[in-house]
Amino acid sequence: MRHFAAHQRANAAFAGLTGGAALSILLVLAVILGDVAINGLPRLSWEFISASPRDGMMAGGIFPAIFGTVLLVLLMIVAVIPVGVLTAVYLFEYARQESFFARAVRSAVYNLSGVPSIVFGLFGVGFFIQFLGGNIDRLFLDGRMMWGQPAILWSALTLAVLTLPVVIVSTEEALRTVPREHREAALALGSTKFEAVFRIVLPQAMPGILTGAILAVARGAGETAPILFTGAAYFLPHLPTHAHDQFMHLGYHVYVLATQSPDIEATRPLLYGTVLVLLLVTVVLNLVAITLRNRLRAGRA
């Protein structure tokens, strides 16, 4: 009886410890969101959302930064989803799991997820801008600089490389949830391997793939370090209209306001308003992906 009571106390203590850890996360999140909402909501207005900055970014709005952030995330998704999904399909459906190549690719993906984001920015400058863009200018534009300089395309590709591990790992997990019997049934009915994967497996794994896209959006929209050198601008009077244009970004806008403003106290309301808008933009992009995922699940039910 005494032994049973000791077990009960140990279970209660462990439940309290784990519950406290979970509660601490909610409290930290609530404090952060509450602080941003209390200080940012008074700044929100139609002019703040729809106008361009003026007076050295001490007044006006942040529309160019909102437009640049949304466009950057969309370009990143277009770049990372096909590469990530195809890589995961190869690793899970075609490659021998214990082969050297498969283990090397998985090891590279796991190591890539642990690289600091600023390193991706330096990689983007060296590979995309100087090597890829510079060679395009030399080969096709007689050395006239167009692609060998910071641009929204290079920032999107840099973020795509950054978020690639998220998409690959989540897609592999989604493929693992599809029963092996479904593949075998498709092959038994005369389907080729390609038809079994792209007509049977991938549609069933699509909600999990979209979950990876949601995680990629959440990380890509908030990352600032990789775009510092690859395309983001302090201030632009126009919106980006070409892939080789620079752009304004909400995260970079926050960084500039917090570190380079001549009057930090005067720009603090603008800073909180920009942070709140960045959170709202991220939530809206995530909600779009979540809605699409739920509709796919409902269509399968």
37-51, 53-67, 178-192: which has the minimum mean pLDDT? 53-67
Look-up: residue for tokens 């690859």?
A: 230
Residue 92 CB coordination number (10 Å): 21
Cβ neighbours of residue 172 under 8 Å, at least 6 residues apart? 88, 91, 92
What pLDDT shows up at residue 157?
A: 95
Residue 77: closest CA among 156, 150, 174, 153: 156
Average pLDDT over residues 75-96: 92
Average pLDDT over residues 113-121: 89
**E strand or H helix that includes residue 54:** strand 53-54
Tell me which amino acid residue 252 is. Y
What pLDDT shows up at residue 291?
A: 85
Look-up: residue for tokens 């590979």?
A: 127
What pLDDT shows up at residue 23?
A: 92
Residue 150 has pLDDT above 90, yes or no: yes
Phi, psi of 247 (to 5 degrees): -155, 160
Q: 3-state SS string over 73-130?
A: HHHHHHHHHHHHHHHHHHHHHHCCCCCHHHHHHHHHHHHHHCCCHHHHHHHHHHHHHH
pLDDT in tens, 163-221: 999 999 999 999 999 998 999 999 998 889 999 998 889 988 888 888 888 888 888 88
Residue 31 CB coordination number (10 Å): 10
pLDDT band at 2 (very low <50, low <70, confident <90, very high): low
Cβ neighbours of residue 154 under 8 Å, at least 6 residues apart? 124, 128, 129, 133, 230, 231
pLDDT band at 48 (very low <50, low <70, confident <90, very high): confident
Residue 159 has pLDDT above 90, yes or no: yes
The CA dihedral of 283, 288, 289, 292, to the nearest 10 degrees, is: 150
End-to-end Cα spacing for the chain? 50
DSSP state of 149: S
pLDDT band at 162 (very low <50, low <70, confident <90, very high): very high
Do the beta carbons of residue 68 and residue 240 sit within 8 Å? yes
pTM of the model: 0.86
Tell me, rounded to whole angstroms, the distance of Cα 263 from its chain centroid: 32
pLDDT in tens, 244-298: 999 999 989 888 888 877 777 778 888 899 999 998 988 888 888 788 778 877 7
Calpha distance 118→12 (Å, rounded): 44
Residue 1 has pLDDT above 70, yes or no: no
3-class DSSP assignment, residue 59: strand
pLDDT band at 301 (very low <50, low <70, confident <90, very high): low
Residue 76 has pLDDT above 90, yes or no: yes
Cβ neighbours of residue 284 under 8 Å, at least 6 residues apart? none
DSSP string, 213-261: HHHHHHHHHH--GGGTTTTB-S--SS---STT--B--HHHHHHHHHHS-
Tell me, rounded to whole angstroms, the distance of Cα 294 from its chain centroid: 20
pLDDT band at 155 (very low <50, low <70, confident <90, very high): very high
Q: Rounded mean pLDDT of the chain? A: 88
Six token digits for residue 203: 């549609």
Do the beta carbons of residue 250 and residue 154 sit within 8 Å? no
Cβ neighbours of residue 62 under 8 Å, at least 6 residues apart? 48, 49, 53, 248, 250, 253, 273, 274, 277
Calpha distance 135→147 (Å, rounded): 9
